[in-house]
Amino acid sequence: MTHPNYPSLPHDVNCPHHPVSAIDFMPVDRLRALQLHRLKNTVAYEYERVPLFRRRCEERGVRPEHVKTLADIKLLPFMMKSDLRDEYPLGLRAADNSEIVRYHCSSGTTGKPICVANTMDDIMVWQNGVMRCLAMFGIRAEDTVQVSYGYGLFTGGLGAHYGAEGLGCTVLPASAGNTDRQLMLMRDLGVTAIACTPSYFLRLMDEAAKKGIDFRRDTKLRHGIFGAEPWTQAMREKIEAGTGIAAHDIYGLTEISGPGVAGDCRFRTGLHVWEDHFYPEIIDPDTLEPLPDGETGELVFTTIDRRGMPMIRYRTRDLTRLRAEPCPCGRTMRVMERVSARSDDMLIVHGVNLFPSQVETGLLSVPEVLPHYQIVLTPTDTMDLLEIRVEVTPESFSDNVASLENLRRRVFAAVKSIIGLSPKITLVEPNTLPRSEGKIKRVVDNRPKH
Ligand code: DLL
């Protein structure tokens, strides 16, 4: 069963005839030939223009002509965020300044930001990725798209904007924040699709509820273009059940372009990677060896047709796997499982690995729980305390101590069965935990840093 908000004509849904989407369905052998051709060009270009890359290749005794097959990519050195930081601001820039048309930066949590330089062709490659995602989501020129990702150095706003405009949609460049105005414009302008982080959409849902706005009754909204942060299937179900929209997953990162590197189709088997631009690999993060399709590891991308600042074997830190099986939609572009975790987000609590997404899945399996939670780690004399604070529906946040205690026990059991740890569960009133306008921070780690 696919979501009813996809277009109803089969050829339109599965759109190999849609001009933007035709390439999604190209025969695999042609795709591999195209990738190899582009990879060779990019490696030669990077070798000639970026001293760090050339030096690392020389250290390994690798020259561009050694790349004869796609599998030979494993001969090449990796790039990491720390390289972009060390070479700040533009040490990895490959194109001349006259060709660069735009910078984007991402700040990360510590230290200097990273800067990425784009040529006009790079912007077009990026736009193409977003357009193909939106077309795959069932968004068409008739749609009005409210872009509520932040505009500016962050790639979300401008990325979604160019993609939607490229498809011929009407774009409302709302940017993030000012929730009241967002809801007002959404209604008054008949917005049919919104692009924002899933956590910001939750905030819009809260505000709408406070104002008595029912998305089904009072708006024309049918699609959510959600990404920039991990979110779970359970979260998707909450959003879809609460609003009637189809909640689509869009993935990307600044270093590789921005949103639109991958997105999910109506079968929701994972996210199709636009491999004609962004060549994916999965590696074992410890041995750095490539892993076959189907195995989980760290996602690595090579931009095979970007020129401003190509990334070769860029380690994303995102953990996922590439599906070995073809997707029933017919697209030949490989599918990656939704990114539910970054290796950087992994918490080690009492010697056990813990990902916030596991907590989210456990919490949201309890119907009285709202999708607003926080994970707090506090050192104590004996052991670190793992506390999970979660909002519950107004109806269940009663004065009746026995029923609250019963709910608390059920939440505890649901989370424990997934994470294998015994957290302290604190139920809080609706609207008490922090909300976000962009990427939400759900973990408060008060333990000393080593
Ligand atoms: O977040 C680009 C983007 C904007 C993607 C809007 C989608 C929508 P960065 O700020 O560089 O770029 O952060 C990239 O965010 O490595 C993932 O860890 C995470 N991320 C992005 N999209 C998803 C997603 C943008 N759909 C980092 N699911 C990535 C899970 C995501 N994580």
Q: Is residue 208 in some structural domain? A: yes
Which residues 6+ apart lie within 8 Å of 449 measured at CB? none
What CA–CA distance (Å, rounded) separates 89 from 147?
A: 28
Instruction: Report residues of the chain scoring pLDDT below 50.
Output: 10-11
The reported pLDDT for the residue numbered 133 is 97
CATH number of 422's domain? 3.30.300.30
DSSP string of 260-301, one letter each residue: EEEEE-TT-SSEEE-TTTEEEEEE-TTT--B--TT--EEEEE
Residues 399, 263 share a domain: no
Reference 315, options 281, 340, 338; nearest CA is: 281
Residues 153, 125 share a domain: yes
Residue at token pair 């990273």: 114
Long-range pairs of 15-20 with CB within 8 A, sequence gap ≥ 24: 15/135, 15/136, 16/330, 18/135, 20/128, 20/131, 20/132, 20/135, 20/166, 20/167
Q: How far is the CA of 411 from the centre of ligand 1 (A)?
A: 29
Q: Is residue 308 in some structural domain? A: yes
Structurally, how many domains does the chain consist of?
2
The reported pLDDT for the residue numbered 229 is 95
Relative to the CA of 338, which ligand 1 atom is closest?
Answer: 28
Q: How far is the CA of 398 from the centre of ligand 1 (A)?
A: 38
Judged by DSSP in three states, 441 sits in: coil
Q: How far is the CA of 252 from the centre of ligand 1 (A)?
A: 5
Residues 312, 216 share a domain: yes
Relative to the CA of 317, which ligand 1 atom is closest?
Answer: 16
Relative to the CA of 160, which ligand 1 atom is closest?
Answer: 6
**Minimum CA distance residue for ligand 1 atom 12:** 253
The reported pLDDT for the residue numbered 11 is 47
CATH number of 326's domain? 3.40.50.12780
Q: Is residue 65 in some structural domain? A: no
The reported pLDDT for the residue numbered 107 is 80
What CA–CA distance (Å, rounded) separates 129 from 134?
A: 9
Q: Is residue 69 in some structural domain? A: no
Residues 350, 224 share a domain: no
Q: Is residue 211 in some structural domain? A: yes
Residues 314, 221 share a domain: yes
Residues 228-282 have pLDDT tens digits of: 999 999 999 999 999 999 999 999 999 999 999 999 999 999 999 999 999 999 9
How far CA 164 is from CA of 128, 138, 150, 307, in Å, comes to: 10, 12, 15, 23
Q: ∠ CA(388), CA(392), CA(396), 5° rounding?
A: 135
Residues 258, 316 share a domain: yes
- H helices within 153-245, ranges in order? 155-166, 179-188, 198-210, 215-218, 233-243
The reported pLDDT for the residue numbered 19 is 77
Reference 106, options 250, 228, 277; nearest CA is: 228
Q: Is residue 94 in some structural domain? A: no
Among 344, 376, 394, which residue terminates a domain?
Answer: 344
β-strands 114-119, 193-196 pairing: unpaired
Among 323, 344, 365, which residue terminates a domain?
Answer: 344
Q: Is residue 410 in some structural domain? A: yes
Residues 359, 312 share a domain: no
Pocket of ligand 1 (CB under 6 A): 106, 149, 155-156, 159, 227-230, 249-254, 258-259, 316, 318, 339, 342
Which residues 6+ apart lie within 8 Å of 129 measured at CB? 163, 252, 257, 259, 260, 261, 274, 277, 278
Residues 203, 301 share a domain: yes
Domain membership of residue 434 as a residue range: 346-445
Residues 437, 307 share a domain: no
What CA–CA distance (Å, rounded) separates 370 from 390?
A: 7
DSSP E strands: which ranges in 294-423? 297-303, 314-320, 335-336, 341-342, 347-349, 352-354, 369-378, 385-392
Q: Residues 41, 43, 44, 49: what is their CA dihedral angle, to the nearest 10 degrees? A: 120
Residues 350, 301 share a domain: no
Distance of CA 294 to the CA centre of its chain: 20
The reported pLDDT for the residue numbered 274 is 98
Residues 250, 149 share a domain: yes
How far CA 311 is from CA of 33, 159, 314, 387, 442, in Å, comes to: 20, 18, 6, 39, 30
Among 311, 329, 344, which residue terminates a domain?
Answer: 344
Q: Is residue 46 in some structural domain? A: no
Residues 278, 150 share a domain: yes
Residue to probe by mutation, ligand 1, list 298, 335, 337, 339, most atoms within 8 Å of CB: 339
Task: Give the number of other CB atoms < 10 A from CB of residue 177.
Answer: 12
**Minimum CA distance residue for ligand 1 atom 6:** 156
Q: How far is the CA of 58 from the centre of ligand 1 (A)?
A: 33
